Amino acid sequence: MVIYGVYIVSKSGGLIFNYDHNSPKIETEKTFSYPLDIKLQYENKKVIVEFGQRDGIHVGHVLYAINGIPVVGRQMDDGRDVFEVLDNKDNYPINIKFGRPKMTTNEKIFLASMFYPLFAIASQLSPEPKSSGIEVLEADTFKLHCFQTLTGVKMMVVADPNQVGIDILLKRIYEIYADFALKNPFYSLEMPIRCELFDVNLKTVLEQVEKSGISAM
Amino acid sequence: MARSSSRFDTKKVNSELVTLTYGSLVAQMVKDVENPDDVNKQLDRLGYNMGIRLVEDFLAKTGSGRCLDLKDTADKIQTAFRMYLGVQPNVANWSPAGDEFSFIIDSNPLTDLVELPEDLKGLRYCNIICGAIRGALEMVQLDIQSWIVQDQLKGDANTEIRVKFIRKLEDAIPAGEE
């Protein structure tokens, strides 16, 4: 029973809600000696492991901290450049923390609005007339389940590929949305959902599903 | 889902509470706005805003699909009346073209304890229902008009709400729906 995240996209394609449920935090800290045997690259404002996977440090992981000093972009918090520090032999042995890259809210908004045209294209590509859009998108590590309501709001759940019964969960999330977002007089339609009751109820349902399965809802 | 319908049932409230709350709302509006025509407009707008939100609740709880003809729509609104007002109106007076029909309500909970004073004969007390129907249907891409034809408060035997289909909002239909 693993659910990684819940997203809600409004009728016009904007991300109005996202919740990361159960993405395990993967961070590895390790002391290196000179020369560094991992190839790093600066990409998309992050220092990324390009080659040289070992000891739980995977290609694609992001450099988070050096000697406990957090790194932002390619700069350490004390103002030094990451690559200058790593190239200097005097700084070794050095302790570096790597971790899985976290998606920023902006990236999530971007991805949500990317899904919107994909969904529309899918329904147009269909060989049969009157096809729905994408309902399930499957990858080797997750399945994305999408449910579009008659009014055009999309509820999406990213879950483990083996997780069954997500369609019931999606309908339940829709009910929670109808109850705690739409019946909140201070929530305006199409705007991001910032309602505490909504969050609380959603979390309760997700925890129930996690603990005792879909049938417990 | 059997569970969700029982959850809905538990939240039932006494209809008098609704009657009284709605009554105080209208009374306050009459005081604030004075001109009954403006009150009618406000009630309609209020209903519209309720409708565009309430429709999601209806869809989520009943799990009903898209309507393909107006008879279907009428049926579903009938269900909605039962869910939200606890009354089952009759659907009647279909126009020959099938694009217009009426809901006949013989006991309207909103007007249960109400008598309209002489100087407010222009007030359409239940106008909020018309607005709610219009708002709800607009969210499922149906453009309709709705108005009150008969009103128990004005001496008619029943309350009659007329619904007229105008058009389908084609460009508002979400992708992958049509």
CATH number at residue A72: 2.30.42.40
If asked whether residues A45 and A122 sit together in one domain, one would say: no
Give domain status of residue B2, yes or no: no
Higher pLDDT, A55 or B17: B17
CB-based burial, B120-135: b 16+ in 10 Å, e otherwise:
eeebbbbbbbbbbbbb
Q: Give the nearest chain B residue to A117 (CA atoms).
A: B175
Residue B46: closest CA among B28, B67, B72, B20: B28
Contact call for B177 and A148, based on CB within 8 A:
yes
B134-149 mean pLDDT: 94
Asked if B125 contacts B114 with a C-beta cutoff of 8 angstroms, the reply is yes
Mean pLDDT lowest among A17-21, A38-42, A169-173, B5-9: B5-9
Q: Which of A71, A99, A127 delimits the end of a domain?
A: A99
How distant is the Cα of A96 from the closest Cα of chain B, in angstroms? 47
pLDDT at B4 over 50: no
Mutate to test the interface with A, among B4, B6, B52, B53 (most CBs of A within 10 A): B53
Q: Which of A47, A73, A99 delimits the end of a domain?
A: A99
Contact call for A151 and B174, based on CB within 8 A:
yes
Higher pLDDT, B22 or A217: B22
CB-based burial, B79-109: b 16+ in 10 Å, e otherwise:
ebbeebbebebebeeeeeeeebbbbbbeebb
pLDDT at A16 over 60: yes
Domain that holds residue A78: 27-99
What percent of chain B has pLDDT above 90? 62
Residue B177 in contact with partner chain A when CB distance is under 8 A? yes
Mean pLDDT lowest among A7-11, A19-23, A79-83: A19-23
Asked if A198 contacts A177 with a C-beta cutoff of 8 angstroms, the reply is yes
Contact call for A133 and B55, based on CB within 8 A:
no
Residues A151-178: pLDDT tens digits?
Answer: 999 999 999 999 888 999 999 999 999 9
B76-90 mean pLDDT: 92
Asked if A134 contacts A156 with a C-beta cutoff of 8 angstroms, the reply is no
Give domain status of residue A217, yes or no: no
Contact call for A171 and B1, based on CB within 8 A:
yes
- pLDDT tier, A216 (very low <50, low <70, confident <90, very high otherwise): low
Of B53, B57, B63, Cβ closest to residue A171: B63
Residues of B in contact with A122 (CB under 8 A): 176
Give domain status of residue A151, yes or no: yes
What percent of chain A has pLDDT above 70? 97
pLDDT reported for residue B14: 85
Q: Give the nearest chain A residue to B1 (CA atoms).
A: A168
- pLDDT tier, B6 (very low <50, low <70, confident <90, very high otherwise): very low
Cα gap B157→A73, rounded to integer Å: 75
B125 CB-side CA count, 13 A = 24
Asked if B104 contacts B120 with a C-beta cutoff of 8 angstroms, the reply is no
- pLDDT tier, B177 (very low <50, low <70, confident <90, very high otherwise): low
If asked whether residues A146 and A131 sit together in one domain, one would say: yes
Which CATH number is B76's domain given?
A: 3.30.1380.20
Helix A196-212 / helix A166-176 crossing angle, nearest 10 deg: 160
CB-based burial, A160-176: b 16+ in 10 Å, e otherwise:
eeebeebeebbbbbbbb
By CB atoms closer than 10 A (0-12, 13-18, 19+), residue A146 is buried
Residue B55 in contact with partner chain A when CB distance is under 8 A? yes
Residues of A in contact with B61 (CB under 8 A): 175, 178
Give domain status of residue B154, yes or no: yes
Contact call for B56 and A149, based on CB within 8 A:
yes
Domain that holds residue B110: 16-168
Mean pLDDT for chain A overall: 88
Cα gap B46→B40, rounded to integer Å: 10
By CB atoms closer than 10 A (0-12, 13-18, 19+), residue A124 is exposed
Q: What are phi and psi of A18, to 5 degrees?
A: -145, 145
What percent of chain A has pLDDT above 90? 34
SS3 A214: helix
Cα gap A214→A46, rounded to integer Å: 38
Q: Give the nearest chain A residue to B169 (CA atoms).
A: A151
Residue whose structure tokens are 């009346």: B81
If asked whether residues A189 and A112 sit together in one domain, one would say: yes
Residues A48-61: pLDDT tens digits?
Answer: 888 888 788 888 88
Residue B3 in contact with partner chain A when CB distance is under 8 A? yes
Residues of A in contact with B3 (CB under 8 A): 217
pLDDT reported for residue B126: 92
Give domain status of residue A190, yes or no: yes
Residue B165: closest CA among B78, B96, B99, B93: B99
Residues A62-89: pLDDT tens digits?
Answer: 888 888 888 888 888 888 888 888 888 8
Higher pLDDT, A37 or B173: A37
Higher pLDDT, B139 or B175: B139
pLDDT reported for residue B93: 93
Which CATH number is A145's domain given?
A: 3.30.450.70
- pLDDT tier, A192 (very low <50, low <70, confident <90, very high otherwise): very high
Contact call for A151 and B55, based on CB within 8 A:
yes
- pLDDT tier, A36 (very low <50, low <70, confident <90, very high otherwise): confident
Q: Which of A59, A75, A99 delimits the end of a domain?
A: A99
Q: What would the DSSP string read from start to end of B41-103?
A: HHHHHHHHHHHHHHHHHHHHHH-----SSHHHHHHHHHHHHHHHHS--PEEE---TTSSEEEE
Asked if B16 contacts B113 with a C-beta cutoff of 8 angstroms, the reply is yes
pLDDT at A27 over 50: yes
If asked whether residues A78 and A184 sit together in one domain, one would say: no
If asked whether residues A68 and A147 sit together in one domain, one would say: no
Cα gap B102→A83, rounded to integer Å: 75
Question: Residue A152 gets which letter from DSSP?
Answer: S
Size of interface A-B (CB pairs under 8 A): 73
pLDDT reported for residue A57: 83
pLDDT reported for residue A7: 94
If asked whether residues A13 and A31 sit together in one domain, one would say: no
A187-203 mean pLDDT: 92
Q: Give the nearest chain A residue to B136 (CA atoms).
A: A151
Cα gap A152→B139, rounded to integer Å: 9
If asked whether residues A155 and A119 sit together in one domain, one would say: yes
Cα gap B69→B141, rounded to integer Å: 13
If asked whether residues A206 and A119 sit together in one domain, one would say: yes
Cβ atoms within 10 A of the Cβ of A179, count? 19
